[in-house]
Amino acid sequence: MIMDNKYKQILSGIACVGLALACLPSTALLSGCAGADSDAEQAADTKESSMDNTGKKVKVNYKGTLDDGSQFDSSYDRGEPLEFTVGAGQMIKGFDEAVKDMTVGEKKTVRLSPDEAYGEHDDSLVYTYSKSQIPNGDTLKVGDQLYLTTSSGQQAPAYVTAIDGDNVTIDANNKLAGQYLTFLIELMEIEG
């Protein structure tokens, strides 16, 4: 899931009440982070075409991999392209920028820095609670996903990263925070 700074604002108001176990679907790429210029942006500056998809609804297929070559997400595997409006803040910044100047049928590979993707890992988003403070706290295992309910009632995903006696450590950073991401992107359709 690709989240922007709104995610960190939501998490800054997390209330301890309302923690609940849950599973999130593997829908990556929702909302962008502000960051430095990407290779995709630099390539867009030098591209001869004057194509600008900003404000247009597009459908793309993509495959996301880490520097070690492991795949973390793929619309190809789901058999359904991802649909979003370019420049609307629905995607991580580097992905959005890469699609901005593409034409239908074009494929490109971009490597995004953490600033262009999920940001750096933020230690202030790591919390430790007593098992008694968490519903079903005694059944938690490292790797379990939780939703943290914020003071505004929104839910934010988090993961159990450690259990030490009665203490449970929960990390509300995106699992891809701090990592370089490579995307193979194929533009399938442009609407309007």
Span(s) in the chain for CATH 3.10.50.40: 39-46+53-119+176-191
What does pTM read for this prediction? 0.70
CATH number 2.40.10.330 given to 5-24+123-171: yes
pLDDT tens, 164-189? 999 999 999 999 999 999 999 999 99
From-to residues of CATH 2.40.10.330 in the chain: 5-24+123-171
Pick the CATH number of 39-46+53-119+176-191 from 2.60.120.10, 3.10.50.40, 1.10.645.10, 3.20.20.70: 3.10.50.40
Q: Which residues contact 159 (CB under 8 A, 6 or more apart)?
A: 143, 144, 145, 146, 170, 171, 175
Both tokens of 89, joined, read: 């803040």
Specify the pLDDT at position 50: 62
pLDDT tens digit sequence for 146-165: 998 888 999 999 999 999 99
